[in-house]
Amino acid sequence: MAPLPNSLEDAVEQAKGATQAALQNGLSRITVELAFPELKVMPLVQQFYPILEEMGLQFKLYFPDAGAAALAKRDWQNPPFTIRGLGEFKGQIEADDEAYLVLAPSAVEVEAVEALVQEATGRPVILFNPKLEDIATIGIGYAGRQLRDRFLSTLETCYYLRPLENAAISRCYPEPWQVWREQPDGTYTLLAETPQRPAGEALDQILYDQETGEADGPAPKPQKNFLAELQKFIRALTQ
């Protein structure tokens, strides 16, 4: 069982390990998501991308726009890999490309991301903190369902960590999805493991059963970590 991380740095290290395992198992369309409020993504992806270098992969890093790409080149002092904006992708897959890392693509860029994944033809594409399912942009009708069936459903969540109100959801490939409950003393206990991401009624059922004492099995050992402090921050934002 993968423990909850003790810091953002630990979370990135977990994400790197999960990504390496996924790529070694042949997955080529994967997502990494640290779903925290007010999160600055640039420092995290700077900690994350070395895993591709350590695996010996020649890769390109895509930002949502050319301005962000230019800023990253400057701040990172022109690293030894290509950095571009998604708008610059015109189907140009080069023969020596071995992988692609896309930072924080939104639903506005979903067509460009889908085109990149299709053109990559099996080369790994890693989406770091994607926001591709904005209902306001892709819609909830036929076109939105087509997009989900055609593309979004083909993405494998490699790493995921999201704090909820007094709870958390996580996944660290190849392990299943996990639901955690924050205890009054700030520790977290594991409530359930599921093969698919729990959401809606399924998530409510897990949390409700625990609250009413209906969950089966012995109580897991509590774990204390940085999410307890993060929960205080989230509550402060919503007040």
Provide the 8-state DSSP code for 107: G
Confidence label for 111 from pLDDT (cuts 50, 70 and 90): confident
Question: Which three-class secondary structure state does DSSP give residue 17?
Answer: helix
Q: How confident is the model at residue 129 (pLDDT cuts 50, 70, 90)?
A: very high
Number of H helices, E strands in the chain: 9, 10
As a CATH number, domain 8-160 is 3.40.50.300
Distance CA 214, CA 53 (A): 47
Q: Is the pLDDT of residue 57 over 70?
A: yes
User: Do 177 and 167 form a contact (C-beta atoms < 8 A)?
Assistant: no
Do 79 and 86 meet the contact criterion of CB atoms below 8 Å apart?
Answer: no
Q: Mean pLDDT throughout 85-96?
A: 88
pLDDT value for 237: 41
Q: Is residue 235 scored above 60 in pLDDT?
A: no
- C-alpha torsion 170→35→155→115, nearest 10: -170
Domain boundaries, the chain: 8-160, 164-238
**Residue 157 or 133, more confident:** 157
Residue range 20-40, pLDDT digits in tens:
999 999 999 999 999 987 788
pLDDT higher at 215 or 124:
124
- Does residue 143 have a pLDDT over 80? no
How is residue 171 written in tokens?
Answer: 């996944």
Read off the tokens for 152. 């979004």
